Amino acid sequence: MTLDRTTVQNAQLALLLEVAGTPKPGNVDREHDYPDLHFEHFLAGAVGTYEGFSMMADGEPIGTGFERAIAGMSNQRGGNTQFGAVLLLTPLVAAASQRELTPDGTTAIVDATTVDDTVAFYKAFDHVDVAVSEPPEGMAPLDIRYGSEAEAAIRERGISLGELMAESASVDGIASEWTSGFKRTFEAADALLRRDGPVTERAAAVFLALLASEPDTFVIDKHDRETAIEVQQRAEAALEGDENVNDLAEEFIARGINPGTTADIVAGGLFVALERGMEV
Amino acid sequence: MTLDRTTVQNAQLALLLEVAGTPKPGNVDREHDYPDLHFEHFLAGAVGTYEGFSMMADGEPIGTGFERAIAGMSNQRGGNTQFGAVLLLTPLVAAASQRELTPDGTTAIVDATTVDDTVAFYKAFDHVDVAVSEPPEGMAPLDIRYGSEAEAAIRERGISLGELMAESASVDGIASEWTSGFKRTFEAADALLRRDGPVTERAAAVFLALLASEPDTFVIDKHDRETAIEVQQRAEAALEGDENVNDLAEEFIARGINPGTTADIVAGGLFVALERGMEV
C-alpha cells in the first residue's frame, strides 16, 4: 500500500540516483566532491527542478519548463550541477506525460518544438554558468553565451529548439540524443533494467560502460578531444580490469576531468528505467 | 536569478541533507549503508514525501498529509526510512505554511489537531513497519501496531493527535518535541545556522552534539536504556576527541545501533534552518 511516484518524481529521483552512484570516475558522487562543487549542491539542484518538470508534465512548452527547472536547480552555491541532465530529461518527461516514452515519442516532442522554446532555452543560460564551446560556423549571433540577449537573433533566424539541437548534434552528446530518438539513453535504461542489485551500483556500472563506448563531449569542450579519448580508453581498461576504477576516480578529479555528458545520459537512462518499473 | 525553494521543497531537502551528512555514528549516511537499508532508499523516500508535505502546506488536516507522505515514502524496498523525520517535520511544515515557524506556531498546530488526525496517523502504520515499544499503561486498545484497525478505539477514546503525543512525550523523543514547542529542533537549527562550511558537515556535527546530550529514544525502544546511555556517553567522548567518530560509526552499524530519533531532530533542524535562509 504505497503511493506511486509521479513522472516528475521519477525525473527528480533519477537525478538523485545518478549523483549517488559511485565510483563514477571524474564526477561528484556519493564518495567524491570537487572543492567548490559538493554532493549537497546536487541534492539541492534536484529538489529545485520540481516546478519546471511539473510544467513539462502538464504540457506547457518544454522550453519554458526547462528554463524554470534550471532557475530552480540554480538555487545552490555549486553552480551548474545538472544543466545537461535536465536538458536531456526534458523531452523524456514531456514524452512520458504527453505521448509515449519511446524513441518515436521523444522525436515527436522534439519535432514539435518552436522558436519560443529556443528563446526560453537561451534564457536558461542567464541563471547559471555552463561550460560551452564556440558556436558552429555561421551561428555566432546565436552564441549561447548571449543568453536572453540573443532573442532578436533567434527570432530573425526562426530556429526551433529541435533544429538548434540538430546543428550541434555532431559535437554535443546531449544534442545528439535529442536528434537520434535518445538512442544511448534507451540503451542505458535497458542495461539498468537487465542488472540486479542496488540501483546506485547499477548506475555506476552503466556509467563506466558508456564512458568506455564514446568520447564524452563535455570533456572535449572543457579540455580537448585527446583528453576525452584518453578517458574513454582508460574507462575501457577499467571495464576489463586493467585499471582500478577507484584510482581512476581520484586521478580524474585531481585533473578536473568530469565526464558530464556521460553522467547526463545515465540520469536519462535511470528516468526511463524508473518509468518502466525499476524498483529502488 | 534563481527560483526560491518552497516550504515543501525545503522539507524534502532537509531529509536529503540529513541522510547525506557523514559521519553520523550508527545511521545510514553518505558513506554507510545497512545490508538491507541503503542510501538510495532514503533518496526515494524523500522524493515520495512530496504530495503529503504539499497537503500539509495547503492547510489540509496534518494527519491526512502525514499519512500521504508515509505512503509515498514507503515506495522503496528499504522499509522505514524517514517515518520519524516526517512525523517531526509535520507540525513544522504546517506551522511554516499556516502560522509562523516558531515554538508558539508549532504549538498552535499541535493544539489544533483532532481525533481524525489520530486516525490518519494510525493508518500510516499500515504502509510501513516501524519499530515501536509497548503502549503506555491503559493504552493497550490504542496499540499503534493495530494501524487502521484501531479506529473504533481511537474514536471511542476521543483522543487528538496532540493528546496522543503528550501521552508518549516522556518516552519518545519525537513526541517530546511535539509537546515542547520543538525545543531541541529549534536549538539544532540555531546550531546549524551558527556554523560555517558545507551543510552536510554541519549536520553531522550537530547530530553528534545532540547524540551526546540525551539518550536516543529509538535506541531505547529497539535495544534498551543501557545501550542508549552507552551511545550517549561514547558520542560525548567522540565530541571531546577521546573516541574516533568514524570507528564509532563502523561499530554502531555492526551492532545495529541506529540513533534514529537524533537523526529525525537533525532533519527538523535542517528544515528550520533552510526556512530561515541557510544557503546550500
- For residue A59, pLDDT over 80 is answered with yes
- In DSSP terms, A32 is beta-bridged to A29
Q: Which CATH architecture has domain A7-275?
A: Orthogonal Bundle (1.10)
Q: What is the pLDDT of residue B271?
A: 98
- Closest Cα in chain B, distance from residue A147 (Å): 13
pLDDT of residue A271: 98
CB contact under 8 A, A2 and B68: no
User: Which one of A4, A16, A71 has the shortest CB-CB distance to B2?
Assistant: A71
Q: Provide the shortest C-alpha distance from residue A236 to chain B (in Å).
A: 27
Give the separation between CA B243 and CA B238, rounded to whole angstroms.
Answer: 4
A3 inside 8 A of chain B by CB: yes
| Interchain proximity A198–B38, CB inside 8 Å | yes
With CA atoms as reference, the chain A residue closest to B50 would be A9
Contact A40 B9 (CB under 8 A): no
Contact A198 B5 (CB under 8 A): no
Interchain contact, B20 vs A12, CB within 8 Å: no
CB-closest option in A13, A126, A279 to B1 = A126
**What pLDDT is attached to residue B137?**
75
Q: What is the DSSP letter of A144?
A: G
A73: Cβ contacts below 8 Å, ≥ 6 apart: A45, A46, A48, A49, A52, A81, A82, A83, A86, A127, A128
> B65 CB near a chain A CB, below 8 Å?
no
Q: Give the range among A71-85, A135-149, A167-181, A199-213 with minimum mean pLDDT.
A: A135-149
Predicted local confidence at residue A9, as pLDDT: 98
Cβ–Cβ of A1/B126 closer than 8 Å? yes
Q: Nearest CB to B43: which of A1, A20, A44?
A: A20
pLDDT digits (tens, 9 = 90+) for A17-45: 999 999 999 999 988 999 999 999 999 99
A2 — pLDDT class (breaks 50, 70, 90): confident
Work out the pLDDT band at A137, boundaries 50, 70, 90: confident
Annotate B42-60 with b (16+ C-beta within 10 A) or e (fewer): bbbbbbbbbbbbbbbbeee
Count CA atoms within 13 Å of residue B41 on its CB side: 20
Task: Report the pLDDT value the prediction gives residue B24, as an integer from 0 to 100.
Answer: 93
Per-residue model confidence (pLDDT) at position B55: 98
pLDDT over 90 for what percent of chain A? Answer: 89
For chain B, positions 19-58, list CB contacts with chain A under 8 A.
Answer: 20, 30-31, 38-41, 43-44, 46-48, 50-51
Query: Residues of A with CB below 8 A from B74's CB?
Result: 1-3
Q: Is the pLDDT confidence value at A84 over 80?
A: yes
User: What tens digit of pLDDT does each residue of B33-79 get?
Assistant: 999 999 999 999 999 999 999 999 999 999 999 999 999 999 999 99
Q: How far is CA A245 from CA A22, A34, A248, B31, in A?
A: 10, 18, 5, 18
Cα of A258 to nearest chain B Cα, Å:
20
Q: Residue written as cell 544557503?
A: B279
Contact of B79 with chain A, judged by CB distance below 8 Å, is answered with no
Q: Residue A34: beta bridge partners?
A: A37
Question: CA of A78, closest CA in chain B: separation in Å?
Answer: 8
Cβ <8 Å between B75 and A3:
yes
Average pLDDT over residues A148-155: 92
CA distance B27 to A58: 38
Give residue A132's pLDDT.
76
Confidence of residue A148 (pLDDT cuts 50, 70, 90): confident
Binary contact (B44, A1; C-beta < 8 A): no
CA distance A85 to chain B (A): 18
The residue ranges of chain B whose pLDDT is under 50 are none
Question: How many Cβ atoms sit within 10 Å of the Cβ of residue A125?
Answer: 20
B41 and A280 in contact by Cβ < 8 A? yes
**Chain B contact probe: residue of A1, A40, A64 with most B CBs at under 10 A:** A40
Q: B30 to chain A, minimum CA–CA distance in Å?
A: 6
CA distance A210 to A192: 12
pLDDT exceeds 80 at position A135: no
pLDDT at A173 exceeding the cut of 90: yes
Instruction: Say if A71 is an interface residue toward chain B (CB within 8 Å).
Output: yes
Mean pLDDT of A176-181: 98
Cβ atoms of A93 and A127 within 8 Å: the answer is no
| A129 to chain B, closest Cα gap in Å | 12
Interface test with A, best of B47, B50, B123, B127 (most A CBs within 10 A): B47
> Taking 90 as the threshold, does the pLDDT of residue A52 lie above it?
yes
Neighboring chain B residues of A71 at a CB cutoff of 8 Å: 1-3
Who among B38, B39, B280 is closest to A40 (CB)?
B280
Residues of B66-86 as b/e, b for ≥16 C-beta within 10 angstroms?
Answer: bbbbbbbbbbbebebbbbbbb
State how far residue A5 is from chain B, nearest Cα, in angstroms.
6
Q: Do A72 and B12 touch (CB under 8 A)?
A: no
> Using one digit for the tens of pLDDT, what is the confidence trace for B140-168?
888 888 888 899 999 999 999 999 999 99
